[in-house]
């Protein structure tokens, strides 16, 4: 068996860290929504915290680049959770095509 490459190791580490945001309860279980809300809330708070750091701290170019990457990751996580929510609602027969999109300005908080 050959040794895993550096990319394989990094991928495994990233997946392990992101696994927290997987909603594991079945969509038809009552616990699904509590777990979904917990994951969505944490991802939203993390994104708000990153925005606050970007606005209130002096960051090096490297730190700012890392912060932008982290914000993009949380954007992807929030999109996944929104898609999961819409799927769960559709399974229950609830329409989800309200076409309301929130952008970064909608969740801006002044600190």
| 103 occurs within a structural domain | no
> Is residue 74 in a domain?
yes
Query: Is 82's pLDDT higher than 60?
Result: yes
For residue 68, CA distances in Å to 5, 39, 61, 63, 65 come to 27, 21, 11, 9, 5
Give me the number of domains the chain comprises. 1
Which domain range does residue 66 map to? 51-91
pTM, two decimals, is 0.77
DSSP 8-state symbol, 58? -
State residue 4 phi and psi, 5-degree precision: -65, 145
**Residue 69 within a domain:** yes
Whether residue 39 is contained in a domain is answered as no
Give the mean pLDDT of 9-25.
93
Is 78 inside any structural domain?
yes
Question: What pLDDT was estimated at residue 101?
Answer: 62
């Amino acid at each position: 068996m050959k040794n895993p490459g550096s990319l394989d190791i990094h991928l495994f580490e990233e997946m392990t860290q992101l696994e927290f945001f997987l909603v594991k309860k079945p969509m038809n279980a009552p616990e699904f929504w509590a777990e979904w809300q917990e994951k969505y809330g944490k991802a939203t708070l993390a994104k708000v915290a990153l925005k606050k750091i970007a606005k209130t701290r002096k960051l090096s170019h490297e730190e700012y680049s890392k912060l932008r990457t982290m914000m993009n990751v949380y954007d992807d996580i929030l999109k996944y959770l929104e898609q999961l929510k819409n799927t769960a609602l559709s399974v229950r027969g609830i329409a989800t095509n309200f076409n309301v999109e929130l952008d970064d300005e909608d969740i801006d908080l002044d600190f």
